Amino acid sequence: MSGLFITRTSSRHLKLFHKLFSQTRTLSNSCQSDENIRRFISENTEVVEGRSLTPEIKLRLFTPDCRFWTERPELWPFEDPYWAIYWPGGQALSRFVLDHPEVCRGRTVLDLGSGCGASSIAAQLCGAAHVVANDIDTVAAVATHMNCELNGVESPVCVTDNLIGSDPDGFDLILLGDMFYDEALATSLHSWLDRCIQVHGTRVLIGDPGRAQFEGHNIRRLLQQMAQFELPDSVREENYGLTCSSVWCYNPEL
């Protein structure tokens, strides 16, 4: 496809995706009202259900029927729309949470790099006491609210500050999917997650389909695999043949 949207999750295509959007015109999201952003999302996404590892969750996503699947990238008015993709690591993480509700039930949960908000929705469905969705894109926060409404769950607290490197709050559980696509980011995450565990005893669950930056990073040897899921055919096609995605528990004592 020659337009705006690239859903490929290999390292090469993630870099291309980021480069493409870094060259586009972006607007200050703070100048846009939530109402306008909601309207834009409604007009340029499609409600998708049943084509992921979590068919019980409905999400507003980019599909081939959406205008910006093939539109010229310079017409896109916001930052990179990572929130419009249900990445395979996030799918595995949300599936694991739904299959093991005790992981979240009654706990305070941080969905880091929350994107479309699927993991936040899964945590809410499983009875989490309090959920914070953190994504530095303010449009992602609006998309998360809309997706929560689609699924009939209370919206999480949406935080758009970059929490990585900050003084960690006392969350019982941190969920993060598809965050190890860049080596520098992976290193920052490694250090910050260590602090969260040391200071608060936070449990950390990571979803990733086995990207090279993840498999080759030092954090990999400190992870215990909790589950592996075969990806649906449609997800495999969108992600250049990735066949499965796994959930890992971060254990610095390994």
HSE (side-chain half, CA atoms, 13 Å) at 142: 18
CA distances 200 to 109, 195, 196, 225, Å, are 13, 8, 6, 22
3-state class (DSSP) for residue 157: strand
DSSP result, 12-65: HHHHHHHHHHHTS----GGGS-HHHHHHHHHHH-EEE-SSSS-TT--EEE--TT
Contact call for residues 203 and 171 (beta carbons, < 8 A): no
What is residue 252's predicted lDDT score, i.e. its pLDDT?
Answer: 79
214: tokens are: 């993840």
The per-residue pLDDT for range 73-101, each reduced to its tens digit, is 888 899 889 999 999 999 999 999 999 99
Q: Rounded distance, CA 185 to CA 190, Å? A: 9
The per-residue pLDDT for range 221-241, each reduced to its tens digit, is 999 999 999 999 989 988 887
User: Which CATH homologous superfamily contains domain 31-250?
Assistant: Vaccinia Virus protein VP39 (3.40.50.150)
Parse the chain into domains and list their residue ranges: 31-250
pTM of the model: 0.86
